[in-house]
């Protein structure tokens, strides 16, 4: 029988899936559960309902309990520690009684352009549209009626953490997507807090920014304990016991760094799923670039982030269409097999995709300065429309915007990237996603054996660090020496043909980008 107090639970509310991973003292995943969901576009806002958040999380946990029962032969009643993470950024406002004041506005929204531009100029620091402070200021500019009652501004991870512990707190990495963090990596930038308060002072709100923001905690800190109410919230069946220590909640960027051991200076990783983003830990301040966000690791070190709102959604749509065709001709194939077949087919395509182009923009894209998106597939009359070229086009399109941002990082800022770690659904089919990313970035790409567990595994590791670290042991040392010392991974470097092909594809992609802009205006 396993000692449940020697296990740690990580939960992540991602864009298309909520997943829970239970790990043992060796940091090995031993059980998991998940729940699939999808955001909704309601009155022009990308959102998830509070009901979907609650029921999805509880279904995910119920599936974890079932997996524990089947694999370990015991009922899940306790664990050594819990950690929760979720998609970063967005806007979740509450009053003093924790009544929700406005719909949850996710990272996917590009509706804060005026606010983001004004705050970037005010702070001398790039403020992307999806950041919580941009959403707050845009709500102020819009004159939204709920603002005088605002008492708590948080993120999805911060909200779940509050429901579990009763504490308004979060990890520094997650907080860095609300408001810039001070150079010491410990708290919000005080100068920017004061500038914002002076900016909104004429509006006479009964709160200051410090009043409404969550407390900031470093990795390894205790961020509260599971309350009786929190236990019933997560496990309505009543089996889970209160009193479990809870780690500072984090965002999916921070958990991706932890899951790939990419928290030291000059390490980097790419998370590729519904969105894709590259995270590179840097050793100095960078210039202000609209395409690059400065966030932090869960330990507070500065990170250059290239975040793209669109990655696999368009691929998923085309795979679903091809699946319908297979079913129509009575050749139905399960989804996993179909993805593998089509991804591997892309390896047979021409390196530059044979004259095909795709823009995978389901939503707006900050890197290319588009506030809305329209998925577009186009080709010249003499383009070679084969299944292999078609699939390769969509895979390269998923990385094209990321490459535009990386070029600024490595070119203008001269940030060295020696190797990238990949994780997320884009890398699930062996070799394919790795080769495409390597062709885009021009560096080797490694995928760890645990990469499929992704963010919830990274959150479990952060909770394990809180529980099992030694005195003065840094997060960097804990991950390197105790988690990944013997980790299995595969590393792949694209050949010159693939790299040249991606370069040629991107040249055409940039040239035809006005077509995507026109599509948003005409349709």
Pair (222, 327) in one structural domain:
no
Pair (202, 246) in one structural domain:
yes
SS3 annotation, 283-304: CCCCCCCCCCEEEECCCCCEEE
Look at residue 306 and tell me if it is in a domain: no
Q: Is 190:196 a contact under the CB 8 Å cutoff? A: no
Pair (332, 254) in one structural domain:
no
Pair (466, 444) in one structural domain:
no
pTM of the model: 0.85
Pair (10, 133) in one structural domain:
yes
Task: Report which of 102, 106, 299 is spatially closest to residue 218, judged by C-alpha positions.
Answer: 299
Q: How far apart (Å, rounded) are the C-alpha atoms in residues 105 and 161?
A: 18
Pair (362, 344) in one structural domain:
yes
The CATH number covering residue 92 comes to 3.30.420.40
The one-digit pLDDT tens for each residue of the chain (523 residues) are 789 999 999 999 998 899 999 999 999 999 999 999 999 999 999 999 999 999 999 999 999 999 999 999 999 999 999 999 999 999 999 999 999 999 999 998 989 999 999 999 999 999 999 999 999 999 999 999 999 999 999 999 999 999 999 999 999 999 999 999 999 999 999 999 999 999 999 999 999 999 999 999 999 999 999 999 999 999 999 999 999 999 999 999 999 899 989 999 888 999 888 888 899 999 888 889 988 999 999 999 999 999 899 999 999 999 999 999 999 999 999 999 999 999 999 999 999 999 999 999 999 998 999 989 999 999 999 999 999 999 999 999 999 999 999 999 999 999 988 889 998 889 989 999 999 999 999 999 999 876 666 789 999 999 999 999 999 999 999 999 999 998 888 999 999 999 999 999 999 999 999 999 999 999 9
Q: For the purposes of burial, counting CB atoms within 10 Å of the CB of 327, is it exposed (0-12), middle (13-18) or buried (19 or more)? A: exposed
What pLDDT is stored for residue 494 in this prediction? 97
Q: How far apart (Å, rounded) are the C-alpha atoms in residues 92 and 135?
A: 9
Look at residue 244 and tell me if it is in a domain: yes
Q: Is 249:223 a contact under the CB 8 Å cutoff? A: yes
For 462, the domain range is 4-260+453-483
Task: Give Cα 383 distance to the centre of its chain.
Answer: 35
Look at residue 323 and tell me if it is in a domain: yes
Q: How far apart (Å, rounded) are the C-alpha atoms in residues 520 and 523?
A: 6
Q: Per-residue DSSP letters for 452-495? A: GGHHHHHHHHHHHHHHHPPTT--HHHHIIIIISTT--EEEE---
Pair (413, 379) in one structural domain:
yes
Which residues lie below 8 Å from residue 117, measured CB to CB, with a gap of 6+? none
Q: How far apart (Å, rounded) are the C-alpha atoms in residues 376 and 378?
A: 6
Tokens (6 digits) for 45: 């806002």
Task: Report which of 319, 325, 321 is spatially closest to residue 338, judged by C-alpha positions.
Answer: 319
Pair (342, 457) in one structural domain:
no
Pair (338, 318) in one structural domain:
yes
Pair (244, 317) in one structural domain:
no
Pair (460, 369) in one structural domain:
no
- How far, in Å, are 5, 46, 134, 138, 362 from residue 41 at the CA level? 41, 4, 20, 19, 11
Q: How far apart (Å, rounded) are the C-alpha atoms in residues 405 and 383?
A: 28
Which residues lie below 8 Å from residue 518, measured CB to CB, with a gap of 6+? none
Pair (373, 397) in one structural domain:
yes
Q: Is 108:130 a contact under the CB 8 Å cutoff? A: yes
Residue with the two structure tokens 């051991």: 261
Q: Is 256:455 a contact under the CB 8 Å cutoff? A: yes
Provide the number of structural domains found in the chain: 2
Q: For the purposes of burial, counting CB atoms within 10 Å of the CB of 43, is it exposed (0-12), middle (13-18) or buried (19 or more)? A: exposed
């Amino acid at each position: 029988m396993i000692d449940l107090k020697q296990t740690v639970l990580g939960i992540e509310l991602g864009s298309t899936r909520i997943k829970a991973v239970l790990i043992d003292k060796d940091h090995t995943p031993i059980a998991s559960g998940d729940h699939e969901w999808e955001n909704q576009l309601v009155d022009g806002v990308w959102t998830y309902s509070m009901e979907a958040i609650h029921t999805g999380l509880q279904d995910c946990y119920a599936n974890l309990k079932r997996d524990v029962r089947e694999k370990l032969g015991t009922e899940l009643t306790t664990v050594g520690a819990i950690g929760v993470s979720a998609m970063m950024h967005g806007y979740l406002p509450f009053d003093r009684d924790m009544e929700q004041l406005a719909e949850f506005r996710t990272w996917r929204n590009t509706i804060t352009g005026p606010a983001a531009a004004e705050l970037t100029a005010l702070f001398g620091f790039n403020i992307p549209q999806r950041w919580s402070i941009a959403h707050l200021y845009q709500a102020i500019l819009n004159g939204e009626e709920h603002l005088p009652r605002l008492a708590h501004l948080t993120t999805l991870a911060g909200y779940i953490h509050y429901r579990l512990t009763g504490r308004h707190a979060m990890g520094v990495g997650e907080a860095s997507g609300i408001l810039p963090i001070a150079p010491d990596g410990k708290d919000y930038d005080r100068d920017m807090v004061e500038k914002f308060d002076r900016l909104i002072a004429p509006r006479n709100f009964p709160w200051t920014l410090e009043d409404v923001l969550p407390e900031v905690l470093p990795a390894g800190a205790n961020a509260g304990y599971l309350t009786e109410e929190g236990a019933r919230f997560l496990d309505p069946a009543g089996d889970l016991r209160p009193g479990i220590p809870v780690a500072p909640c984090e965002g999916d960027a921070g958990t991706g760094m932890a899951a790939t051991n990419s928290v030291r200076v000059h390490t980097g990783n790419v998370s590729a799923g519904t969105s894709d983003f590259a995270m590179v830990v840097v050793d100095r301040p960078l210039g202000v670039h609209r395409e690059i966000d400065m966030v932090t690791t869960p330990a507070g070190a500065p990170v250059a982030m290239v975040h793209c709102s669109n990655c696999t959604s368009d691929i998923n749509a085309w795979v679903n269409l091809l699946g319908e065709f297979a079913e129509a001709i009575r050749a139905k194939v399960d989804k996993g097999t179909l993805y593998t077949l089509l991804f591997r087919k892309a390896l047979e395509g021409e390196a530059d995709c044979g004259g095909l182009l795709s823009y995978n923009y389901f939503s707006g894209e900050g890197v290319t300065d588009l506030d809305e998106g329209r998925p577009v597939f186009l080709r010249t009359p003499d383009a070679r429309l084969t299944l292999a070229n078609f699939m390769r086009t969509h895979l390269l399109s998923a990385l094209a915007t990321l490459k535009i941002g990386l070029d600024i990082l490595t070119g203008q800022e001269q940030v060295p990237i020696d190797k990238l770690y990949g994780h997320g659904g884009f890398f699930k089919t062996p070799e394919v996603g790795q080769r495409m990313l390597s062709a885009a970035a021009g560096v080797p790409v490694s995928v760890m054996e645990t990469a499929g567990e992704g963010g919830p595994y990274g959150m479990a590791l952060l909770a394990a660090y809180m529980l099992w670290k030694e005195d003065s042991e840094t997060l960097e040392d804990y991950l390197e020496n105790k988690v990944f010392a013997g980790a299995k991974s595969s590393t792949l470097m694209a050949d010159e043909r693939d790299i040249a092909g991606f370069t040629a594809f991107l040249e055409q992609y940039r040239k035809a980008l006005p077509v995507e802009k026109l599509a948003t205006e005409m349709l």
